Amino acid sequence: MAAADSKIIFAGPVGSGKTSAISCLSDIPVVSTDVDASDETKARKDTTTVAMDYGFLSLEDGTLVHLYGTPGQDRFDFMWQILTEGGLGLVLLIDAARPDPAADMLFYLDAFEKFIAETGAVIGISRVDLSERDIYGLLQQSLIERGQLLPMFEVDARKDEDVNLLVQTLLAVLSAEV
Ligand SMILES: Nc1nc2c(ncn2[C@@H]2O[C@H](COP(=O)(O)OP(=O)(O)OP(=O)(O)O)[C@@H](O)[C@H]2O)c(=O)[nH]1
Ligand SMILES: [Mg+2]
């Protein structure tokens, strides 16, 4: 990784859209370690990421932004810390259609607490089209209770413009902090 290059990490539960989001942004086809899903993941989708996703994006000034997706299943959580090394910030994707999106969000905010404190994060609520609840309001309330306000958007992880908005916001938040 050249000195000016940076790295963004995508995290979130199984099926929250990490691989989809990185595919939207990446200049190259995403290198994924997706395998056929077994056990409880299978009910949700056919493949799951076991080690990581990788892609990259070149900014107008020529800098490269490396994009890493963490595996969603928590039996691979040893990869999470490894992948955050040298990272610029975190995009946390929360699946609105899972049973308890607020618990999911708090779990990941705890798991990546140190990294977020040192860098920054944005939250994308994905799969809102598959949920009838006001997940945005619910998550906003949880963030207020936790005392941690982070930029949050409803996104479709398959849509370039939605994923771009997340990354541009993260970059803006990070540059405002410097
Ligand atoms: N309806 C709907 N489907 C979505 C949305 N975002 C992603 N998907 C779909 O949700 C599924 C899961 O997306 P993935 O990108 O594989 O999720 P992941 O986070 O990489 O999952 P793991 O690797 O198992 O942790 C895919 O079939 C996507 O096409 C959304 O906003 N709405
Ligand atoms: Mg994946």
Domain count, the chain: 1
Q: How confident is the model at residue 119 (pLDDT cuts 50, 70, 90)?
A: very high
- Whole-prediction pTM: 0.91
Query: Which CATH number goes with the domain that contains 31?
Result: 3.40.50.300
20 CA to centre of ligand 1 in angstroms: 6
Average pLDDT (78-102) is: 93
Residue 1 belongs to a domain: no
Q: Which atom of ligand 1 is nearest to the CA of 71?
A: 25
Q: What is the pLDDT of residue 24?
A: 95
Average pLDDT (118-136) is: 97
Q: What is the pLDDT of residue 43?
A: 56
Average pLDDT (67-81) is: 82
**For residue range 2-46, what is the model confidence (pLDDT) as tens digits?**
556 789 999 999 899 999 999 999 999 988 876 776 655 555 666
Per the structure, the complete domain to which residue 149 belongs is given by 6-177
Q: Which atom of ligand 1 is nearest to the CA of 41?
A: 24
26 lines ligand 1 (CB under 6 A): no
Average pLDDT (135-159) is: 97
Q: What is the mean pLDDT of the chain?
A: 89
Q: What is the pLDDT of residue 92?
A: 98
Residue 73 belongs to a domain: yes
**For residue range 128-142, what is the model confidence (pLDDT) as tens digits?**
999 999 999 999 999
Contact 111, 81 (CB under 8 A): no
Average pLDDT (53-81) is: 86
61 CA to centre of ligand 1 in angstroms: 31
Average pLDDT (116-123) is: 96
10 CA to centre of ligand 2 in angstroms: 10
110 CA to centre of ligand 1 in angstroms: 23
Best probe residue, ligand 1, of 127, 153, 155 (max atoms within 8 Å of C-beta): 127
157 lines ligand 1 (CB under 6 A): yes
Residue 65 belongs to a domain: yes
- Residue owning the nearest CA to atom 21 of ligand 1: 15
* Residue 51, number of CB atoms within 10 A of its CB: 16
122 CA to centre of ligand 2 in angstroms: 18
| Ligand nearest to the backbone CA of 22 | 1
Q: What is the pLDDT of residue 39?
A: 59
How do strand 6-11 and strand 64-69 relate by DSSP bridges?
parallel
Q: What is the pLDDT of residue 38?
A: 65
Q: Where on the phi/psi map is residue 72: left (φ > 0), alpha (ψ -120 to 50), or beta?
A: alpha
